Amino acid sequence: CPPIGLESHRIEDDQILASSMLRHGLGAQRGRLNMQAGTNEDDFFDGAWCAEDDSRAHWIEVDTRRTTKFTGVITQGRDSQIHEDFVTSFYVGFSNDSQNWVMYSNGYEEMKFYGNVDKDTPVLTEFPEPMAARYIRIYPQTWNGSLCMRLEVLGCPLSTVSSYYAQQNEVTSTDNLDFRHHSYKDMRQLMKVVNEECPTITRIYNIGKSSRGLKIYAMEISDNPGEHETGEPEFRYTAGLHGNEVLGRELLLLLMQFLCKEYQDGNPRVRSLVTETRIHLVPSLNPDGYELAREAGSELGNWALGHWTEEGYDLFENFPDLASALWAAEERKLVPQKFPNHHIPVPEHYLAEDATVAVETRAIMAWMDKNPFVLGANLQGGEKLVSYPFDTARPISETPSAAPRPPDDYEDDNPELQETPDHAIFRWLAISYASAHLTMTETFRGGCHTQDMTNAMGIVQGAKWHPRAGSMNDFSYLHTNCLELSIYLGCDKFPHESELQQEWENNKESLLTFMEQVHRGIKGMVTDQQGDPIANATIVVGGINHNIQTASGGDYWRILNPGEYRVSARAEGYNPSVKTCNVFYDIGATQCNFVLSRSNWKRIREIMAMNGNRPI
């Protein structure tokens, strides 16, 4: 049977009970498989359930609120930097009323099960015969360190929920898609099938190789696959930066199948997405890590197995830290005259042969440079929220003396939280995903591991929640035109196959809505008076201290919230041009074209050069 949902939080806090707790941060609710301790272990968010003393009478109990056929349990020790606590043997009891308990026995005595040998590796215990009941209890008998444990229960529902709090309705998806986990070979095969079914709108390519030499495959979906059409924005979804966060990988494989089928069935929404956008889907950026996590399987890999690449890099934070460079330049008043506020070049030392950069990261950076992406998101796991840049926290000493902020401001007083110039746009984009998701904004459940960090909105700025330098999102924002967000899809990084239909339904609308946001704001062409496109012209939006550049065909896109903007286009050797552009609430970018006239300075310099720079 599949897991009943302690790790995924489908089992709610009030369904888990224990005989006692050591202190508040080690209550029964903390006893979920893979629960992570907060940074400060002595707070309310510690990494396991721990009993108050060393008695053998303690227990932890789960109420499934229905008759369930229990087939086994998965146990794990306490997540901690300091303690080595785990349970080595236990009894199991069952009940239908939580008063009268029947112990699992082998016919003549209570059966003792053997548990963990370390604190991190989950251990599966299968019952020789399944048991049907509503409640299950674990009675630890021997342990290492203190009596602490984390747990998942395997069981199949035999009856509908017995209370009026119906748990999430079991959804079966109406889309006829392939709801399974896909190994590297299966993934390649599935992509090939989609490509054969929809050859006119799909193309498979790879963006590079992993350190073990596995290709990092991408699927392009557009009405002219293989080329950038002038005026058409490019969008990307990537998944599997961390090999053990596998839900994103499967959602992107489902999305490929869905777009292909719906396009063929003439679904108008999908048709307009495919004809007006160039969509790139990369299901597995870290294929080596995935293979590791897959060997352990859905529930038995610990929190970290397969997270890093083969060489030990965390891909998400392996990019050049351009934010710190920008802030240092701002300190010295070099921006924007001597130091750009956009398209910041990659530092030399980072490009050296011996730099500590993963081959996967180099491949992703080259791919970002090659395609004029406008909007993107990377799908991750282990929490349920959308996070947006900056992910880097700005050191306090460097914060310029800003005007005092109005007291009714909704952000906390957090001096080191540096917002991007596009803060309001990032919030809009994050909300567009979170609010269309079926459960992401139900934050009454709290966060997965600590309290809800998103003010009940399901969105948070990265640096406020989990500050780190060199993230993919910050790099994308400061080095390219692309606004990139991270979507954390749920508490369980590697959900059981039986959950995939429900997760597809949870995310389907969000995945489509977020892609449509690429058509919000302004777009256009920058040409000279002969009508020839000007590449790498700079587009400046008044009031937003972050510029973008035109692509090689002279076309550009700038995602903006609704409003009126003063926009100017500038290019070396041309006179700048300024316009007012309006952005409306409806999806569909406003066209704003610029024609630049050559400036005479260039001609004067040419004549002077011909005269050997002597005064004429």
Arithmetic mean of pLDDT, 109-120:
85
Q: pLDDT, tens digit, for every residue of 38-69?
A: 766 566 677 788 888 888 888 888 988 888 88
59-63, 378-382, 459-463: which has the minimum mean pLDDT?
459-463
In a domain, 204, yes or no: yes
Spatial separation of the C-alpha atoms in residues 489 and 385, rounded to whole Å: 7
In a domain, 131, yes or no: yes
Q: Which residue has the tokens 């990261």?
A: 361
- In this structure, the answer to whether residues 131 and 229 fall within a common structural domain is no
State how many domains the chain has. 3
Final residue in a domain of this structure, among 467, 494, 519: 519
- In this structure, the answer to whether residues 253 and 279 fall within a common structural domain is yes
**pLDDT in the model for residue 168:** 45
Give the domain extent around 527.
522-602
- In this structure, the answer to whether residues 134 and 82 fall within a common structural domain is yes
Q: pLDDT, tens digit, for every residue of 356-369?
A: 888 888 899 999 99
- In this structure, the answer to whether residues 235 and 373 fall within a common structural domain is yes
Do the Cβ atoms of 482 and 476 come closer than 8 Å?
A: yes
**Greatest mean pLDDT range, 299-308, 370-379, 402-411:** 370-379
- In this structure, the answer to whether residues 211 and 141 fall within a common structural domain is no
Write the burial class of residue 241 (CB in 10 Å: 0-12 exposed, 13-18 middle, 19+ buried). Answer: buried
- In this structure, the answer to whether residues 287 and 148 fall within a common structural domain is no
Per-residue confidence at 599, pLDDT binned at 50, 70, 90?
confident
19 phi-psi bin (left φ>0, alpha ψ -120 to 50, beta other): alpha
Q: Which CATH number fits the domain that encloses residue 358?
A: 3.40.630.10
- In this structure, the answer to whether residues 459 and 542 fall within a common structural domain is no
Final residue in a domain of this structure, among 493, 519, 545: 519
Q: Which CATH number fits the domain that encloses residue 45?
A: 2.60.120.260
Q: pLDDT, tens digit, for every residue of 540-570?
A: 999 898 999 999 999 999 999 999 999 999 9
> C-alpha angle 153/156/161, rounded to 5°?
100
* Alpha helices, DSSP H, located in 420-545: 423-436, 462-465, 472-479, 500-516
**pLDDT in the model for residue 397:** 57
- In this structure, the answer to whether residues 539 and 498 fall within a common structural domain is no
In a domain, 616, yes or no: no
- In this structure, the answer to whether residues 472 and 541 fall within a common structural domain is no
Final residue in a domain of this structure, among 491, 519, 547: 519
**pLDDT in the model for residue 329:** 86
361: how many CB neighbours lie within 10 A of its CB? 27
Buried b (16+ CB within 10 A) or exposed e, 145-172: ebbbbbbbbbbebeeeeeeeeebeeeee
In a domain, 346, yes or no: yes
Does pLDDT of 162 surpass 70? no
Spatial separation of the C-alpha atoms in residues 351 and 345, rounded to whole Å: 11
Does pLDDT of 616 surpass 70? no
Q: Rounded mean pLDDT of the chain?
A: 84
In a domain, 327, yes or no: yes
Task: Give the three-state DSSP class for 604.
Answer: helix
**pLDDT in the model for residue 547:** 92
Spatial strand order in the sheet of 548-549 = 548-549, 538-541, 563-570, 577-583
Per-residue confidence at 377, pLDDT binned at 50, 70, 90?
very high
Arithmetic mean of pLDDT, 563-581:
92
In a domain, 490, yes or no: yes
In a domain, 409, yes or no: no
Arithmetic mean of pLDDT, 231-241:
91
245-249, 377-381, 601-605: which has the minimum mean pLDDT?
601-605
Does pLDDT of 170 surpass 60? no
- In this structure, the answer to whether residues 560 and 420 fall within a common structural domain is no
136-140, 293-297, 324-328: which has the minimum mean pLDDT?
293-297
Per-residue confidence at 147, pLDDT binned at 50, 70, 90?
confident
Q: CA gyration radius for the chain? A: 27
Q: pLDDT, tens digit, for every residue of 245-304?
A: 899 999 999 999 999 999 999 999 999 999 999 999 999 999 888 888 887 777 776 667
